[in-house]
Amino acid sequence: MNRKGIAELAGSAALGAWAAFGVLALFVSGKDGSPRFLDHDLLTWSVGHRPEMAVAVARGLTATGTGVVPYALVVLAGLLAGRTRRRRLVGALLAAATLATGQAVRYGVMELVARARPPYADWQTHASGWSFPSGHTTTAALTAGLVILALCLRAPHGHVPLCLAVACWGAGVGLTRVFLGVHWFTDVLGGWLFAVGWLGLWVCAAAWWLPLRLIPGTGEPDPPPTTDTAGVPLEKNAPQDPDRRGRSRPA
């Protein structure tokens, strides 16, 4: 797919995700941010199904959705996507910038919507700030998207199992926020939509404006093989017609 096709596809995905996110933000901000949709039912189910082992696993998984782990993963993804030193550097910087700016914009949206979290009595882990959209969910989804993009660029064949594993990790981090009682499900849904919209915006911009020689995962076609004939003596009186090679001259 050429850069125009990539830009159009990423732009369409971003536009659709932002439209859905805007509708959801308006939906959850109504009635003082009270539970909506499946929020109350899913939280009630989570509170009633929390064996100690499941809570411990959920806490471990949710911890990977913030802090150093996401940045380490996206930088590694950027390095993996490039085939030259310059492209690896550009890929790592772009991936880190996508994640950092996404987190900053999400924080601004969170302050703007100012939705309250579920009751503190239901919490099974630490949380701070407003509720919508979920920060861990957004960060993990952005990270998963960048890693999947790098895998598709670097390994066009055989990347499906790895991509599925990364996608399950990204989705799992979001679901643990509901299971641990610190977010409503619509907060998690908002985080997923925000991540798709933000990642699509950056991919579209990179495809349109970044010079092709700097885009990770692309490369110049290999030059055709040439035969070095320097130093090879030419046979005198050699036949020029290849069909006549090996034929004897008439007497």
Of all residues in the chain, the percent with pLDDT exceeding 70 is 80
Q: Flag whether pLDDT at 251 surpasses 50.
A: no
State residue 112's pLDDT score. Answer: 93
Average pLDDT score over residue span 231-244: 50
State residue 215's pLDDT score. Answer: 54
User: Is 36:230 a contact under the CB 8 Å cutoff?
Assistant: no
Measure the CA–CA gap between 134 and 251, rounded to whole angstroms: 93
Query: What domains does the chain contain, in order, with CATH numbers?
Result: 3-214 (1.20.144)
Q: Flag whether pLDDT at 130 surpasses 70.
A: yes
User: Is 97:77 a contact under the CB 8 Å cutoff?
Assistant: no
Average pLDDT score over residue span 110-128: 91
pLDDT-derived band at 103 (thresholds 50, 70, 90) equals very high
Q: Which residue has the higher pLDDT, 240 or 53?
A: 53
> What are the pLDDT digits (tens) for 79-102?
887 777 888 888 899 999 999 999
CB burial readout 140-156, b (16+ within 10 A) else e:
bbbbbbbbbbbbebbee
> What are the pLDDT digits (tens) for 176-189?
999 999 999 999 99
Cα angle 157-158-162, degrees, rounded to a multiple of 5: 130
Q: What's the length of the chain? A: 251
State residue 225's pLDDT score. Answer: 47
State residue 227's pLDDT score. Answer: 47
User: Is 197:18 a contact under the CB 8 Å cutoff?
Assistant: yes
Q: State the average pLDDT for the chain.
A: 83
pLDDT-derived band at 243 (thresholds 50, 70, 90) equals low
> What are the pLDDT digits (tens) for 21-78?
999 999 888 766 677 778 888 888 888 889 999 999 999 999 999 999 999 999 998 8
Q: Flag whether pLDDT at 20 surpasses 80.
A: yes
Q: Flag whether pLDDT at 129 surpasses 70.
A: yes
**pTM summary value:** 0.81
State residue 156's pLDDT score. Answer: 67
Average pLDDT score over residue span 149-160: 79
State residue 164's pLDDT score. Answer: 94
pLDDT-derived band at 160 (thresholds 50, 70, 90) equals confident
Residues sharing a CB contact under 8 Å with residue 136, sequence separation 6 or more, in sequence order: 62, 65, 66, 173, 174, 176, 177, 191
User: Is 3:208 a contact under the CB 8 Å cutoff?
Assistant: yes
